[in-house]
Amino acid sequence: MLTTTKFANECIDNLTYGSTQANWLANIDIGDTIFISQFNYKSQNLFGPFRVTEILYYDKTIIYPQQKYFYRIQYAPLDIIKNIEETDLYLSGVRSNELAIATKLINLIQQNKHLHCICLTREEGNFILNAFKNSYNNYSTPKTTFKNIASTIPPTPVDCNYIWNRNNIDRKGSFSSESDLEAFLLFSLKKAKSDEYKYINNLLNKHADNDLQVSEIYNQFVFGNAYPSDILIINKHNMNVFELKKDELANTLIPQIEKEMKKLLYFSLFCNRFKPSHNSSKRFNLYLVYLKTKSAQTLKNHIIKRYHHFCNEINALRKNTIIFGEYEPGDKRLVIEEQ
């Protein structure tokens, strides 16, 4: 679900969607089905469905008036472009006897209309797709005075090499932003032969029945109450959340880490975006990944203590674990290992 508060027409006219950061769209692949949401005080509409034809690239062509959004994807209509309202989602739930999922989706979109992208589960995506198929509200391309201004710089594919060079990792030795670290890992996880894929899989394999090959990967995946995770890797037996820090582990990070741990632990517990949403055999595994730190044992001990404190309230409901991982740039790759 690609979200905008006022640029749905431009997104449809140009069959292009843009964001301010690479990580928001890094998890999208060619062939994915997408919808465009425009929720504001005037209207609450969904447009689509579309299928992705061009994955992430960087382009400074002006598409959105007086705005940037240079990280972009492109798409094409699956069939006839339609627009439906949030009330149509509700009515679809009534007709299909699936009112719970309809209400959940309406709340999800309303709460997260400020995000660039909302990852949908298969169940959620199929429900919205069926709502579009059963609608007769065809979308008419609006007449606008908007003119596309050709860029003097050709579009640039955004991938691991782009993110690496953009952050000047060879010289700086770390990422400039956590969003770029997230994007780099998401691109790496698409390649089963990449070193990062193997490192992440090794971390997952610390727990039984936990492997990338049997898992689904989400980023900025909202558990509830608009609180995201950086990367979520979920399978039948494990819910793995990767919380990323671009810098070394330091005292200044502790208050934020404590807030994030508490929210992720509790809001994931009965999250109704998963089926089953609660399973006593499912483990919650938190992976705190940060830049390699020379001396961090005292800080790690404090984090573990606080993590166990938060877990005391829910240990009877689910097993919860925490693993520390350090990343260190190598030759155009990241070495990520447990510490």
Q: Which residues of the chain have pLDDT under 70?
A: 140-153, 224-227, 275-281
Left if phi > 0, otherwise alpha if psi is -120 to 50, otherwise beta: which for 240? beta
Per DSSP bridges, beta strands 33-39 and 2-4 are parallel
Distances (CA, A) of 277 to 1, 90, 273, 281, 318: 21, 22, 7, 12, 12
Whole-angstrom distance, CA of residue 288 vs CA of residue 118: 23
pLDDT tens per residue across span 169-197: 999 999 999 999 999 999 999 999 999 99
Beta bridge partners of 17: 73
Measured CA angle at 23 (ends 335, 337), to 5 deg: 15
How far is CA 73 from its chain centroid? 15
pLDDT tens per residue across span 250-263: 999 999 999 999 99
What pTM was estimated for this model as a whole?
Answer: 0.92
Domains and CATH numbers, the chain: 2-133 (3.10.590.10), 173-338 (no CATH)
* Polymer length in residues for the chain: 339
pLDDT tens per residue across span 19-55: 999 999 999 999 999 999 998 888 889 999 999 999 9
Tell me which residue has tokens 């997260």: 112
User: 243 with 286: CB under 8 angstroms?
Assistant: yes
Beta bridge partners of 82: 48, 138
Kindly state the tokens that stand for 303: 């984090």
Q: Is the peptide bond before 65 cis (omega within 30 degrees of 0)?
A: no
The 10 Å Cβ neighbour count of residue 44 is: 19
